[in-house]
Amino acid sequence: MLKASKEGPDVAIQILQKHVDRYPKDYARMYLLSTVLRQEDRLDEAEKVVRVIIDAPQQTVSLEAIEQFSLHAPSAHLLVEL
């Protein structure tokens, strides 16, 4: 989707943002959104998204909790790169 057209990244950002708004605990899509924002040099927006991932309280034992925990390190790394 990102390279399908010139508008690809903007469309991807819109779709991911709508998804994250609807599912605010979907940290994997949130991380994907932050990486697309970073690729588009929208660094302030990317930082806000990454901070949400890092600052979110850890979910209880579940697959979502494992996914959330596994995203902390790459999110922190992305934040350092910003």
CA distances from 29 to 38, 72, 79 (A): 14, 13, 16
44-80 residue pLDDT tens: 999 999 999 999 888 887 888 888 888 988 998 888 8
Token couple for 46: 């990317």
What CATH fold (topology level) applies to the domain 8-81?
Answer: 1.25.40
Higher per-residue confidence, 60 vs 5: 60
Token pair, residue 62, equals: 């579940």
Could you state, in order of their start, the residue ranges of all structural domains in the chain?
A: 8-81
Query: DSSP string of 18-68?
Result: HHHHH-TT-HHHHHHHHHHHHHTT-HHHHHHHHHHHHHSPPP-SSHHHHHH
pLDDT confidence of residue 3: 59
